[in-house]
C-alpha cells in the first residue's frame, strides 16, 4: 500500500502607506489609497501525518481494508513534517508549469495586499471587508459546486460540529489580520506574522506535549529578535496594528492545535479543497452578524458617497481583493500537490520577502537600515525553521 502523503502549507497578511491616486475621498480632496492576507497558508497533511505532526487528519475504513489517507486542509501555519516525502524529478514542461504557478502565486499575493491596504486606508471597517471576502469566496465555491467543477460534499452533523471551532478561529485570524493591515504598513504586518513558528512551537509544547528540538529552538532566536528589532524601528508602528497581527498569529496557531485535538480521530474523509470550502462558508456566516452588530451597514452607495469615496474605484478594488483572496489560496493548493511540504514552505518564505519588498516599493514605505536588518533577520529565521523541522531527534 502507498504511504500517506504529508503536506503542509502556511498562509500570511500585510500593510503599508499608500500613494494618493487610487481611491478618492472627494473631488476636492487629495486622493487617498492604501495597501494579505493573509498569507498564511494552511498546511495540508495526511491522516497519518496529522496524528504525528498536526493538521486535520481524516480517514475512512473501507470494508475492512486498510484506511486510505486523504490529503486534507489543516488551518493555519503548521510545522513542516519532520520527514518530507521525496519529490520525483520533474520534466521540463512540469518544471515550467511549476515556476509559472509559483510566480502567479506571488503576483496574486502582491495584488491582494495592495488592494486590501488601499481599501482599508480609506474605509476603516475591517470586519465589513472580511465579510465581503468570505462572501466572495462562498459565491465562487457555490458556483463550482453547482457546475460540478468541484464535487458537492456530503458530511455528517458530527463532523460539521467538529469543523465549527476551526472555522471560528479561522474567522478571527482573518479579522485580526485585516485590522492590522488597516493600522500599520503591509511590510510591518508581514514581519510580525513571521512570529507564527514561535507560537506554533509554544502551543504544541503546552497543549500537545510536542517538545521542540534544540535546532528548532535555535531557529526561533533570529525570528523573535528580528521582529523585536523591526518593531522598535518601525515608522508606522501602532499598538493596535501590532497586537492585531500578534492576535492573528495566536488564533492561527490555536487553529492548528484544535485541528490536531479535534480532527485526528475522525474517520470521515474530506479532501483539502472541500474542507477549505466549508470553512470559508462558515466564516462568512459567522462574520455577517458580528459585522452588522459592531460596524453596522456601512457599504451602501449612499454611505460611501457621503464619505467622499468613488463608488466605481471602491467597488472595483473590493471585487479584486475578494478575487485575489480566494485565488491565491487555490493556487497554493495546486502548488502543494506538486511539491514536498519543505519545498512549499521555502517557497512561502520567499513569498513573504517578495510581498514585503513589493509593498515597500509600491507604497514608498519609509524603511531605515536597522528596520530592514530586523526584517531580514526574522525572515532568515523563518527560512531556517522550515529547514530544521526536517531534522528528526535521535532515538534514545
366-376 pLDDT tens trace: 888 998 999 99
Chain Cα centroid distance, residue 106: 13
Q: What are phi and psi of 31, to 5 degrees?
A: -75, 140
pLDDT digits (tens, 9 = 90+) for 291-316: 999 998 888 898 998 888 889 999 99
Q: What are phi and psi of 32, to 5 degrees?
A: -120, 145
Closest of 252, 326, 340, 263 to residue 69, by C-alpha: 263
Q: Is the dihedral of CA 57, 68, 338, 150 positive or negative?
A: negative
Element (H or E) spanning 323, and its range? Answer: helix 311-336
The answer for residues whose C-beta is within 8 angstroms of residue 243's C-beta and 6 or more apart is none
The answer for residues whose C-beta is within 8 angstroms of residue 219's C-beta and 6 or more apart is 197, 381, 384, 385, 387, 388
Give the whole-angstrom CA distance, residue 73 versus residue 35: 28
Helices (H) and strands (E) in the chain, counts: 13, 8
pLDDT for residue 168:
92
Residue-range domain boundaries for the chain: 11-21+29-78+108-388
Look at the pTM and tell me if it is higher than 0.85. Answer: no
- pLDDT tens across the length of the chain (396 residues): 444 444 333 334 434 444 433 444 433 333 333 233 333 444 433 343 333 333 333 333 333 333 333 334 443 333 333 444 455 666 788 888 889 999 999 999 999 999 999 999 999 999 999 999 999 999 999 999 999 888 888 888 888 888 898 899 989 999 999 999 999 999 999 999 888 888 888 888 887 788 888 988 898 999 999 999 998 888 888 899 999 999 998 988 787 777 766 655 555 566 767 888 898 999 999 999 999 999 988 888 989 988 888 899 999 999 999 999 989 888 887 787 787 766 777 787 788 889 999 999 999 888 889 989 999 999 898 888 888 877 766 655
Place of cell 485580526: 176
- DSSP assignment letter at 270: -
Helix (H/G/I), strand (E/B), else coil: 391: coil
Amino acid at each position: 500500500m502507498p504511504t500517506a502523503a504529508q503536506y503542509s502549507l502556511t498562509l500570511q497578511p500585510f500593510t503599508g502607506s499608500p500613494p494618493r491616486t487610487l481611491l478618492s475621498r472627494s473631488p476636492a480632496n487629495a486622493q487617498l489609497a492604501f495597501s494579505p492576507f493573509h498569507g498564511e497558508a494552511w498546511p495540508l497533511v495526511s491522516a497519518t501525518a496529522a496524528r504525528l505532526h498536526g493538521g486535520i487528519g481524516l480517514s475512512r475504513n473501507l470494508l475492512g481494508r486498510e484506511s486510505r489517507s486523504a490529503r486534507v486542509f489543516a488551518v493555519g501555519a503548521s510545522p513542516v513534517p519532520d520527514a518530507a516525502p521525496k519529490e520525483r524529478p520533474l520534466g521540463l514542461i512540469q518544471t515550467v508549469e511549476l515556476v509559472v504557478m509559483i510566480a502567479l502565486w506571488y503576483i496574486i499575493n502582491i495584488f491582494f495586499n495592495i488592494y486590501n491596504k488601499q481599501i482599508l486606508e480609506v474605509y476603516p471597517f475591517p470586519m465589513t471587508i472580511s465579510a465581503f471576502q468570505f462572501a466572495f469566496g462562498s459565491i465562487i465555491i457555490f458556483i463550482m459546486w453547482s457546475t460540478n467543477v468541484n464535487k458537492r460534499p456530503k458530511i455528517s452533523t458530527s463532523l460539521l460540529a467538529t469543523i465549527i471551532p476551526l472555522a471560528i478561529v479561522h474567522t478571527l485570524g482573518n479579522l485580526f489580520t485585516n485590522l492590522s493591515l488597516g493600522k500599520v504598513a503591509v511590510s510591518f504586518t508581514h514581519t510580525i506574522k513571521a512570529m507564527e513558528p514561535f507560537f506554533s512551537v509554544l502551543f504544541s509544547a503546552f497543549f500537545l506535549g510536542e517538545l521542540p528540538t534544540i535546532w528548532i529552538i535555535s531557529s526561533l532566536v533570529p525570528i523573535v529578535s528580528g521582529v523585536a528589532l523591526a518593531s522598535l524601528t518601525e515608522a508606522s508602528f501602532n499598538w493596535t496594528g501590532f497586537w492585531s497581527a500578534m492576535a492573528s498569529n495566536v488564533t492561527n496557531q490555536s487553529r492548528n492545535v484544535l485541528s490536531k485535538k479535534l480532527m485526528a480521530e475522525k474517520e470521515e474523509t474530506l479532501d483539502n479543497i472541500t474542507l477549505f470550502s466549508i470553512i470559508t462558508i462558515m466564516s462568512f456566516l459567522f462574520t455577517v452578524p458580528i459585522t452588522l452588530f459592531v460596524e453596522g451597514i456601512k457599504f451602501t452607495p449612499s454611505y460611501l458617497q457621503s464619505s467622499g469615496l468613488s463608488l466605481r474605484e471602491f467597488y472595483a478594488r473590493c471585487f479584486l481583493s475578494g478575487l485575489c483572496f480566494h485565488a491565491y489560496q487555490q493556487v497554493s493548493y495546486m502548488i502543494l500537490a506538486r511539491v514536498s511540504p519543505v519545498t512549499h514552505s521555502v517557497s512561502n518564505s520567499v513569498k513573504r520577502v517578495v510581498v514585503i519588498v513589493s509593498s515597500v516599493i509600491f507604497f514608498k514605505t519609509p524603511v531605515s537600515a536597522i528596520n530592514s536588518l530586523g526584517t531580514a533577520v526574522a525572515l532568515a529565521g523563518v527560512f531556517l525553521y522550515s529547514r530544521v523541522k526536517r531534522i528528526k531527534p535521535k532515538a534514545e
